[in-house]
Amino acid sequence: MGIEFQDIEQEDRTGSEDPFSNVGVIFFGEDGSWQAQRTGTGFTAAGEGVPQRLEPGLWVADMGYDQVRAISKELRGMTMRSDSWLKLSIDQIRTAFGLSGKRPDQSLPVIATIAHRVYRLSQEALRDNMGDLRYKSPHEFQSQMERAASLATAIATVNAPAVARTGSSEKRVIEHFTRTYQAGMYIGGRKEPPDDHINLAFHFPRLSYARRITEDDVPASSIWQIANRKDHQSVEDFLENMRQTGRPAIYKAVCQPGEGYVPEHVQVFANGLNTSMGDTHRTRFIDEEIKLLARHYKVSVEGVVAGSKWCPSATGQLLRSLEAAAGGADAARASWSVGLAAENILASALRAARKESPGQTAEAVWIAARDRAAMMPAIEALAEVGASLVSAHYGNITVRCPLDIELLMLVVDAAWECGLILPLESVELLRQMGVPIPAEPSLFGGNDVDYLLSAVVHRRQRNALWSLDGIMDLPADERARQFRILTSA
């Protein structure tokens, strides 16, 4: 009779134990009470004061960082994180599922299940790349994930060996990376709208958007060189000659306004209104940015810092694994939780896995720029009908609009034609105001595969939204089949 051996680190981890790390959610009441649920283990508890009877491991509370930090000091054997651990806050998730104002015992099971699905799906994507990331066992990276400040940072930490294959280790090259890097677009002072305005938070279908931003190659680890534009050479010729080389390039350029008006969203794209950098204007841009800025500025390119080769995006590989684990393109794009997992994976590219700046890898620089460039056509379309940019990041575009029914109709129609959708509660609010919400397939500007989930949200079909998402509770090899059954009924 044969003898079966197993690795020592796998001892006591076989049998009925769930092979995935689990996350729980805790709601705290103003009266000092609390309720907790961990969907992965079926654990529930309630009490008052500081929670002491919880399962060990990772818990997410519906509180901010400072409050969680104070409570965490009194906990033993547990890791508690703030309500934005999943990137979207708990309030944002409530809004997406129409749960605002519901009693905690009504909303907690939904939020806990969403957290469970998103966390599990993220682990499934990482497991598919475990060998490439040099992990022998999922438990090796799961412990790292539990300690991270957010899910996106957890993914960044685990995926760091793959991301490190992009860019350069040379100090001067990294300096060019950090001078090029700009994450998102923000205009200060618009977070809270005045009484006669409303802020609307649109977003692209998350998985498709993340796949789009990461589908092209990023600079590989290689030798980087510098070239300056010669005096007799025009900017146009220099750019064309550089593009013909096919090499990754960071251009040293100065952008000066031309005779025409430069819209504020273009200014913030070029960092003109980005208050996070004070009065400092960027002078380093990648090609996607140069092409867009040249439409509004006189762009004087003085030189270039160029790498020698490209490689596939490590973030893009994780997203492909996520899509496959979720049951393929159709099932994945019909799931709200898969979308949130995808956004966390996309965000991981711009999170520092260690103490260094997130802009120190070429992957972060290129993905951040492509994110901003990909949102610009939609931002321009919304601005043309009277909306003003508040923020734009990871395919999420928030705009400010006057409380005028006809103008709001134009804004939501323009967004739909660009492939943008609203959270379910925003749909309900606008509908109550008398604003028709578009859901026509012929006018939808996104991919056909994204129409189902987008229409379900815009038609306020909560049960359908939950049923489609529930497919992710099944084993991975059953999800595609169950999606076909559900959508063919």
CA-nearest of 43, 85, 49, 50 to 64 is 85
In this predicted structure, the answer to whether residue 72 has a pLDDT above a threshold of 90 is no
Span 106-113, average pLDDT: 97
Distance CA 238, CA 79 (A): 54
Beta bridge partners of 48: 33
Distance CA 190, CA 186 (A): 9
Distance CA 266, CA 272 (A): 8
Distance CA 282, CA 183 (A): 13
In whole numbers, what is the pLDDT of the chain averaged over residues? 92
Q: CA-based angle 186:198:453, to the nearest 5?
A: 80
The least confident of 131-145, 148-162, 214-228, 450-464 is 131-145
Q: With the C-alpha atoms ordered 94, 100, 104, 105, is the resulting torsion angle positive or negative? A: negative
- Cα–Cα distance list, 326 to 113, 118, 187, 334, 472 (Å): 16, 11, 36, 10, 7
Span 175-192, average pLDDT: 92
Q: CA-based angle 392:398:401, to the nearest 5?
A: 140
Q: What is the pLDDT of residues 344-369, one digit of tens each?
A: 999 999 997 666 677 889 999 999 99
CA-nearest of 146, 144, 122, 147 to 134 is 144
Q: What is the pLDDT of residues 371-391, one digit of tens each?
A: 999 999 999 999 999 999 999
The token pair that represents 297 in the structure block = 């500025």
* 234 Cα distance to chain centroid: 39
- Cα–Cα distance list, 428 to 5, 196, 199, 261, 420 (Å): 58, 19, 15, 37, 16
pLDDT at position 188 is 86
Backbone angles phi, psi at 48, to 5 degrees: -135, 155
Residue 296's region, left for phi above 0, alpha for psi from -120 to 50, else beta, is alpha
Q: What is the pLDDT of residues 398-408, one digit of tens each?
A: 999 999 999 99
* Length of the chain in terms of residues written: 489
Greatest mean pLDDT among 11-15, 97-101, 370-374 lies in 370-374
Q: Which helix (H) or strand (E) holds 9?
A: none
pLDDT at position 276 is 45
Q: According to the 3-state scheme, what is the secondary structure of 196-224?
A: CEEEEEEECCHHHHHHHHHCCCEEECCCC
In this predicted structure, the answer to whether residue 464 has a pLDDT above a threshold of 90 is yes
Edge to edge, the sheet with strand 185-186 lists 185-186, 388-393, 396-402, 197-203
pLDDT at position 96 is 96
pLDDT at position 360 is 86
Beta bridge partners of 33: 48
The token pair that represents 164 in the structure block = 């490190």
In this predicted structure, the answer to whether residue 4 has a pLDDT above a threshold of 60 is no
Q: What is the pLDDT of residues 264-305, one digit of tens each?
A: 999 999 985 544 444 457 899 999 999 999 999 999 999 999
pLDDT band at 78 (very low <50, low <70, confident <90, very high): confident
pLDDT band at 12 (very low <50, low <70, confident <90, very high): very low
Distance CA 198, CA 404 (A): 10
Span 127-148, average pLDDT: 89
User: 375 near 346, Cβ under 8 Å?
Assistant: no
pLDDT at position 260 is 82
pLDDT band at 73 (very low <50, low <70, confident <90, very high): confident
- Contacts of residue 206, Cβ cutoff 8 Å, sequence gap at least 6: 338, 339, 340, 342, 343, 395
* Higher per-residue confidence, 258 vs 86: 86
Place of tokens 């930490």: 157
Backbone angles phi, psi at 246, to 5 degrees: 70, 15
Distance CA 139, CA 155 (A): 14
Q: With the C-alpha atoms ordered 332, 336, 340, 346, is the resulting torsion angle positive or negative? A: positive
pLDDT band at 13 (very low <50, low <70, confident <90, very high): very low
Span 221-244, average pLDDT: 94
pTM: 0.93
Transcribe 436-458 into DSSP letters. Answer: PPP--GGG--S-GGGHHHHHHHH
In this predicted structure, the answer to whether residue 5 has a pLDDT above a threshold of 80 is no
Transcribe 60-113 into DSSP letters. Answer: EESS-HHHHHHHHTT-SSEEEE-TTTTSS-HHHHHHHTT-TT--HHHHHHHHHH
Q: With the C-alpha atoms ordered 65, 69, 70, 71, is the resulting torsion angle positive or negative? A: positive
Q: Which long-range contacts (CB under 8 A, 24 or more apart) does 106-111 make?
A: 107/27, 108/25, 108/27, 108/35, 108/37, 109/37, 109/39, 110/466, 111/25
Distance CA 24, CA 285 (A): 42
Greatest mean pLDDT among 203-212, 225-234, 269-278 lies in 203-212
3-state secondary structure of 232: coil
Edge to edge, the sheet with strand 43-48 lists 43-48, 33-38, 23-28, 57-61, 78-81
